[in-house]
Amino acid sequence: MSKRILFTGGGSAGHVTVNLALIPKFREEGFGIDYIGSANGIEKQLVTPLEGVTYFSVSTGKLRRYFDWNNFIDPFRVLKGVFQALSIIRKRKPSVIFSKGGFVSVPVVMAGKLAGVPVIIHESDLTPGLANKLAKPFATKILTTFPETVKHLDPAKAVHVGAIVREELFQGDAARGREYCGFDEQKPVLLVMGGSLGSRKINETVRANLDALTRKFQIVHLCGKGNVDPQADRPGYRQFEYIREELSDVLAMADMVVSRAGSNSIFEFLALRKPMLLIPLSRAASRGDQILNARSFKNQGLAEVLEEEQITDESFLEAVLSVYDRREEFLTNMQRHDSRDSLATVIGLIKESAGC
């Protein structure tokens, strides 16, 4: 009997990228592959074009940390999602379920437990997110990126595996990246990423300082869906909502990165040896996970951090130039880290749970 694997995770690109790294590997090994996500989330946009993957959508709620009348309705949406996921699981009969987190994963993980299917959860951040906190009692194993995360979890379930980085990111070509963006080799390239949903504060700060920045850098700016500003266009500055196929080439040509501090992204930059200025989401807009991620990287000498509340035109420009000037120091520290074995480790754990 052929083995099947069911992936879930969504809400942001960070809750999908690990799955995108794993799916081709399991397809190569002949697994049947299904994916459960939401009807309108970014996971559907990223997964449905993939060959050999069947996508299903289920009802899901948003797990809010603030008062909202929808908080009284969403538990019923999640319950509906559990029954929908249970029906899919019973029909597709996966050997194992792999969850990357996000709100949509909660009903799927619960349904997996009800159906008696082994469930593996992956937690990227230093401390577990709310969705994974709700899902972890139903998991068979919980895999972590940061070694510190294990102390927050059941030691019988938790396994530190390190960062999972997509293989295709290592295949980028800097010359193709410059051609794609219309850049030359005369100036270094600054890549700015605010996450798949964009960052208003980062976008505004970059555009307010384009004159100063473009004197030193060529800039490629991934600003998030609906956030391209045609009035900001100028030589040496390219903006995109999101880049997919060409991302590895764009990363290859980048000399440094300004980014949020989502775990998947910063470990990709580490694997690709890109000096980083990290601007984590503030506690006012998040549970503070990105702040912890960023501090961990700063303490290891892998990045510089600028808190969102501290951003001014002057502090931003000073931080960008400081990271670029110290790039050799960051690159030396990055040489001590190698994530290439993590993907094989995770694949082995999944196959073990699937009975392979």
Residues 17 and 56 in one domain: yes
Residues 155 and 191 in one domain: no
Per-residue pLDDT at 287 exceeds 70: no
The confidence score (pLDDT) of residue 61 equals 67
Residues 239 and 178 in one domain: yes
- The tally of domains found in the chain comes to 2
Question: Could you tell me the CATH number of the domain that includes residue 326?
Answer: 3.40.50.2000
The confidence score (pLDDT) of residue 133 equals 85
Structural domain range at position 245: 169-334
- Give the model confidence (pLDDT) of 58-85 as tens digits: 988 665 555 555 556 777 888 899 999 9
The helix (H) or strand (E) run that includes residue 34 is: strand 32-37
Residues 256 and 237 in one domain: yes
Pairwise CA distance, residues 350 & 331, whole Å: 33
Distances (CA, A) of 208 to 37, 40, 88, 188, 235: 37, 33, 49, 20, 15
Residues 276 and 241 in one domain: yes
- Give the model confidence (pLDDT) of 87-137 as tens digits: 999 999 999 999 998 889 999 999 999 999 999 999 988 888 778 888 899
Pairwise CA distance, residues 25 & 261, whole Å: 27
* Pairing of the two strands 119-123 and 4-8: unpaired
Residues 237 and 99 in one domain: no
Pairwise CA distance, residues 316 & 10, whole Å: 31
The dihedral through the CA atoms of 205, 206, 208, 209 has a sign that is positive
pTM confidence score: 0.79
Per-residue pLDDT at 21 exceeds 70: yes
